[in-house]
């Protein structure tokens, strides 16, 4: 079962190698239905400006800029980190970094449904999208903090003027970036907001044609798509929340892929030997972390960075990774489990430093498991008997989880800490007091976030003194964070982020979370041009003519 890059029946593949998969457009055979599944249904409508229509939003609406993902574009490369024009035909950042100019792409059409009826996109769609995004989107805060004003000097131009230079502005204006910037919705849906929830009419390569709640979402290709007619005719996303049912649908070849638990992958594979095993790519932007609360932050024992470092060193994170990933069984079959090693920055090869290779210097050891050293640290800080600490959780996802059971047991057996658990009654209470305001005492348990964003989302929010989730910072940390926000040269900015990681290894502003593994999915070998991701570039994908029931409908 050695890993390779050829998408043959029974292959073991890794999405990290997607850039090595072939460009197959010249051999494309148009047509067919791509059938897959979703575990959740869209019950809140299609209005992306409420921030809730997660299932259909990226399949319908597009952004001015899109990420560069294609054959030959390797993860972490300069090309990978250089956004491409989308609904904007071009973009330009002024020399002083205070203005970003977008040019409207001519000939872009909306989907063929009322009230837009396939009309061409114009600057009013951009204007009303920006206005409504700023007025109501739950994630518009950062945009509003950065932008001075938005101007529309003519019918093809939008200029975003910033209060200060912000280097990540363009890359954070791409798809999937936690609502940092507005997607483009037709003005008719902004003018009658009740339509935005009931009509999905964007510009993307596929058009929603049927939605049967709790059953499926069906799309058809949009022949007038501005970047070329899609190869695939139809897409059906079945709502299958039960894992056993999803497994059965996969084995009968009714859906193209399936993500089992890590303990089920090899078992299910024995019933489908021609299915490929593919490891997802570990996010280069997301991060797990423990956040410290501001309440009593300067008087509690963990005010001392040595205590915060000890809280990390006392936990066998590699052992937890092995438990969660079923790593030993995969290794016995000759299959590598793709994993990261958690530090204070996302796992992006452009700037991430590996403590196991001493790439952070003497501070590298702060990330390494060693209970005896953890005890020495808390003793040196004045707590030879360990500390007591409140750990804050969202009650719906906490107790009973493997992560919490193993973590609590190991930490308390280490003698470093004794936890007092505080569970919030509702998710809203937790979000308001922990995530959005940092108004709590102690530490939050394993927050994960970031999405397809940029390292600055974490650095400014959690390390800078003005960050909404910062309890511990310093003038030097602020200086470095502000420097990487200004630096437009990608490689020079990466060097500043390396310096931030080295400083964080000493100051320990947040606790790095658990190491992540890439889940394996099982996938039938029918998809071609798979280097192109579904969102933004899915029009270039096509289906093998040998695919069973290739031309079926929902």
Residue range 364-375, pLDDT digits in tens: 999 999 999 999
Residue 252: Cβ-neighbour burial (10 angstroms; 0-12, 13-18, 19+) = exposed
For 177-316, where are the alpha helices, taking DSSP H only? 187-191, 193-198, 243-251, 265-269, 305-313
Residue closest to 34 by CA, chosen among 226, 238, 193, 242: 238
pLDDT digits (tens, 9 = 90+) for 496-507: 999 999 999 999
Mean pLDDT of 264-284: 94
Q: Taking a C-beta distance cutoff of 8 angstroms, is the pair 417, 469 a contact? A: no
Mean pLDDT of 442-464: 83
Measured torsion, CA atoms of residues 518, 267, 407, 291, in degrees rounded to the nearest 10: 30
| pLDDT bucket at 142, cuts 50 / 70 / 90 | confident
Cβ count within 10 A of residue 95: 8
Percent of the chain scoring above 90 in pLDDT: 76
Q: Which helix (H) or strand (E) holds 89?
A: strand 88-93
| pLDDT bucket at 55, cuts 50 / 70 / 90 | very low
Domains of the chain and CATH, by start: 1-38+242-281+520-554 (no CATH), 45-198 (3.90.76.10), 287-512 (3.10.105.10)
Cβ count within 10 A of residue 361: 12
Angle at 457 between CA 456 and CA 459, to 5 degrees: 55
Three-state DSSP class for 26? helix
pLDDT digits (tens, 9 = 90+) for 4-30: 688 999 999 999 999 999 999 999 999
Percent of the chain scoring above 70 in pLDDT: 94
* pLDDT attached to residue 356: 97
Residue 534: Cβ-neighbour burial (10 angstroms; 0-12, 13-18, 19+) = middle
pLDDT digits (tens, 9 = 90+) for 309-344: 999 999 999 999 999 999 999 999 999 999 999 999
* pLDDT attached to residue 58: 65
Cα separation of the two ends of the chain: 35
Q: Which has the minimum average pLDDT: 67-71, 329-333, 341-345, 433-437? A: 433-437
Whole-prediction pTM = 0.90
Angle at 398 between CA 394 and CA 402, to 5 degrees: 160
pLDDT digits (tens, 9 = 90+) for 91-135: 999 999 999 999 999 999 999 999 999 999 999 999 999 999 999
Q: Look up residue 519 and give its DSSP letter.
A: P
What is the average pLDDT value for the chain, to the nearest integer? 91
Task: Please state, in angstroms and rounded to a whole number, the distance separating the CA atoms of residues 22 and 449.
Answer: 32
* pLDDT attached to residue 338: 94
Mean pLDDT of 516-540: 93
* pLDDT attached to residue 76: 84
């Amino acid at each position: 079962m050695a890993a390779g890059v050829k998408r043959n029946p029974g292959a073991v593949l890794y999405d990290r190698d997607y850039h090595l998969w072939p460009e197959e457009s010249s051999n494309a055979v148009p047509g067919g239905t791509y059938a897959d599944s979703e575990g959740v249904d869209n019950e809140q409508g299609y209005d992306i400006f409420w921030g809730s229509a997660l299932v259909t939003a990226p399949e319908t609406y597009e952004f001015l800029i899109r990420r560069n993902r294609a054959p030959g574009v390797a993860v972490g490369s300069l090309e990978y980190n250089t956004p491409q024009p989308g609904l904007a035909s071009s973009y330009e950042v002024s020399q002083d970094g205070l203005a970003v100019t977008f040019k409207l792409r001519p000939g872009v059409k909306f989907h063929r449904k009322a009230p837009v009826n396939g009309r061409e996109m114009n600057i009013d769609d951009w204007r009303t999208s920006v206005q409504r995004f700023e007025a109501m989107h739950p994630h518009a805060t950062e945009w509003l903090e950065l932008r001075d004003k938005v101007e529309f000097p003519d019918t093809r131009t939008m200029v975003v003027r910033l209060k200060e230079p912000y280097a990540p502005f363009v890359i954070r204006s791409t798809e999937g970036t936690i609502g940092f910037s507005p997607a483009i919705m037709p003005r008719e849906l902004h003018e009658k907001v009740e339509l935005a929830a009931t009509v999905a009419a964007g510009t993307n390569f596929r058009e929603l044609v049927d939605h049967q709640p709790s059953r499926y979402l069906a799309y058809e290709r949009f022949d007038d798509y501005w970047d070329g007619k899609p190869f695939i005719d139809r897409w059906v996303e079945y709502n299958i929340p039960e894992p056993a049912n999803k497994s059965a649908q996969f084995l009968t070849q009714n859906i193209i892929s399936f993500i089992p638990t890590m303990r089920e992958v090899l078992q299910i594979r024995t019933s489908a030997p021609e299915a490929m095993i593919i490891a997802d790519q570990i996010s280069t932007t997301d991060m797990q972390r423990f956040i410290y609360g501001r309440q009593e932050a300067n008087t509690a024992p963990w005010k001392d960075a040595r205590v915060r470092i000890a809280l990390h060193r006392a936990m066998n994170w590699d052992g937890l990774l092995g438990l969660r990933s079923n790593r030993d069984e995969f290794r016995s079959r000759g299959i590598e489990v793709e994993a990261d090693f958690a530090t204070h920055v996302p796992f992006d090869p452009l700037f991430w430093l590996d403590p196991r290779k001493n790439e952070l210097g003497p501070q590298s050891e702060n990330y390494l498991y060693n209970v005896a050293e953890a005890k020495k640290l808390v003793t040196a800080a004045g707590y030879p008997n360990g500390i007591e600490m409140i750990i804050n959780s969202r009650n719906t996802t906490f107790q009973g989880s493997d992560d919490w059971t193993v973590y609590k047991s190991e930490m308390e057996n280490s003698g470093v800490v004794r936890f007092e658990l505080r569970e919030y009654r509702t998710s809203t209470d937790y979000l308001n007091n922990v995530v959005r305001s940092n108004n709590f005492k102690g530490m939050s348990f394993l927050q994960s976030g970031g999405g397809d964003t940029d390292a600055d989302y974490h650095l400014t929010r959690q390390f800078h003194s003005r960050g909404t989730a910062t309890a511990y910072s310093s003038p030097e940390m602020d200086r470095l964070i502000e420097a990487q926000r200004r630096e437009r040269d990608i490689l020079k900015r990466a060097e500043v982020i390396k310096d931030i990681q080295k400083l964080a290894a000493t100051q320990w502003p947040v606790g790095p979370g658990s190491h992540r593994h890439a889940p394996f999915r099982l996938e039938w070998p029918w998809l071609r041009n798979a280097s192109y991701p579904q969102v933004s570039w899915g029009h270039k994908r096509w289906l093998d003519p040998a695919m069973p029931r290739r031309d079926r409908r929902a």
